[in-house]
Structure 1
């Protein structure tokens, strides 16, 4: 069987409370065991070890937290405590005129649930481009990006639509239609790269 492990007691909080409850219920429905709230100690060839104990594993898929790129250390760019490039709400890098950052490389002001996903990078990219043109025109950049988490959590036979903004939170139950919608959106988004 599968075991999902995470050091957070409530993983996925960026998605919102309702979405987390639905995800946990979906794991229960699919008989996925959960090991939550215990820090990772290490891996062995056949087990995962946490501060709360250990469990057997035939295959381990581990995704570490996001940190800044190693080459950032060779620059004088301002950094966040997590090692990302520090930016303002206009995507500017302080102390560097006409230099902007978007996407996973940047640390931006906003709610703690603000996602690191392609959708946010698109919104930040549009903002950075508009602000750079404004700055190059001798004016002060004012445009800010919309903070929005928008995703479909896909389980191959259904998908759960999750949307969160500073003002609202929405989570639909898993629907077969959402799996098809995610497949369509992915192919549409990637069409120009294939």
Structure 2
């Protein structure tokens, strides 16, 4: 039986391991942590509506449910030509015919960012830290909160804007529920002129209305230069004062991948074709945030696209083993799709080549996203059937 090594325990890696096992292949998944983290539902951790345990699934349970081998040990080196992987423990993995690289991405680092801001899209522990800092401000009864995201001029797909909007609107709802919203100054910040433009012009108009309705301030269109303990500095010489700063930095290629010998984009992501194959490296595939995403300017790295890549690669590897010239591409599935939660409702966001739309879903939208979180956990564990295409 052919052996496949999957590097990464996120959406792309877990989905690849599950679907490779459906092809009855021998699969080993390597992860730097022992749980699969459901980032889209971590937005409720800062307000105390969820805990880290609520949005985590133990990888050993997933491995048992689907029959893949699990190694929890960070990757320290990848030699792509030799198909050799070195782990932090010193263990070397070099007996695999196929390697699926799904190690995610790293973040662009700005001055003071790591010391003076927290991210909802960073290490899982940061979401809990956000909850603790927000709770301290609530106990105090007043404060200034700033939340935003950054961009990457070298790769516009590597931007996580949606979660920043979600946490901000959830905090607004949370403070209103406490009866203390008027005692807090909430500000959204981003360096681009039209943050959220990927969603389309109609969505931008609706977002602007939402900011006005919730009395959330905006500081946009000016480059961020540094983070300080009490605020954010901008290129125009201004400072946004903040007692609690959440910032989602744009992504860049993983440092391990940079030394792997694989072909990279200007932003450090692995260059693949639409089948996630890598020219000159037969048997090695890159998926999810690790891969340089092809497509139009509005494209975005999202979990559902990563999972499409993973399922395709499982199919493509199996076909390759059978010497059958049949491959699946992710290009026809390229779109922006999300339910943007606000704590008391949500908005359905969709964007493709025909344009974008945002549909308000008061009350029911919040519970739809809650339901998706339950579905994600239980379908991954094999406790309920997967819906077609999901």
TM-score (norm 2): 0.48
Whether 1:167 and 2:354 are equivalent positions in the alignment is yes
Deviation at 1:21, TM superposition (A): 2.0
Where in structure 2 are the equivalents of 1:9-28 lying within 5 Å?
9-28=193-212
Alignment-derived partner of residue 245 in structure 2: 60
- The aligned counterpart of 2:87 is none
Q: Considering Cα pairs closer than 8 Å and 6+ residues apart, tell me whether 1 or 2 has the greater RCO.
A: 2
Q: Distance in 1 between matches of 2:312 and 2:210?
A: 37
Question: Equivalent residue of 2:281, what SS?
Answer: coil
Which one is further off, 60-69 or 136-145?
A: 136-145
Report matched runs for 1:84-95 at 5 Å: 84-95=269-280
Equivalence map 1:46-125=2 (5 Å):
46-52=230-236, 53-125=238-310
Q: CA RMSD in A?
A: 1.7
SS at match of 1:21: helix
**Larger-Rg structure:** 2
| Offset of residue 42 of structure 1 | 0.7
Per-residue deviation at 1:38?
0.3
| Contact 1:147–1:166 (CA under 8 A) maintained in structure 2 | no
The secondary structure found in structure 2 opposite 1:124 is helix
Q: In structure 2, how many angstroms separate the alpha carbons of the residues matched to 1:57 and 1:174?
A: 31
Which aligned runs of 4 or more in structure 1 are off by greater than 3 angstroms? Answer: 139-142
Partner of 2:225: 41
More strand by share: 2
String of CA shifts for 1:49-85, please: whole Å, max 9, x gaps: 1123212111111111011111112200111111111
Could you tell me which runs of 5 or more consecutive residues in structure 1 were left unpaired when the two chains were aligned: none
Gaps of 5+ in 2: 1-184, 384-390
Q: Does 1:148 align with 2:349?
A: no
| 2:183 paired with 1:183 | no
* Deviating more after overlay: 135-144 vs 121-130: 135-144
Q: Contact conserved, 1:88 with 1:108, CA < 8 A, in 2? A: no
Q: Could you tell me how far 1:141 is from its partner in structure 2?
A: 4.4
SS at match of 2:257: helix
- For the residues of structure 2 that align with 1:14 and 1:89, how far apart are their CA atoms? 21
The answer on whether the counterparts of 1:22 and 1:173 sit within 8 Å (CA) in structure 2 is no
> Is the CA contact (8 Å cut-off) linking 1:91 and 1:108 kept in structure 2?
no
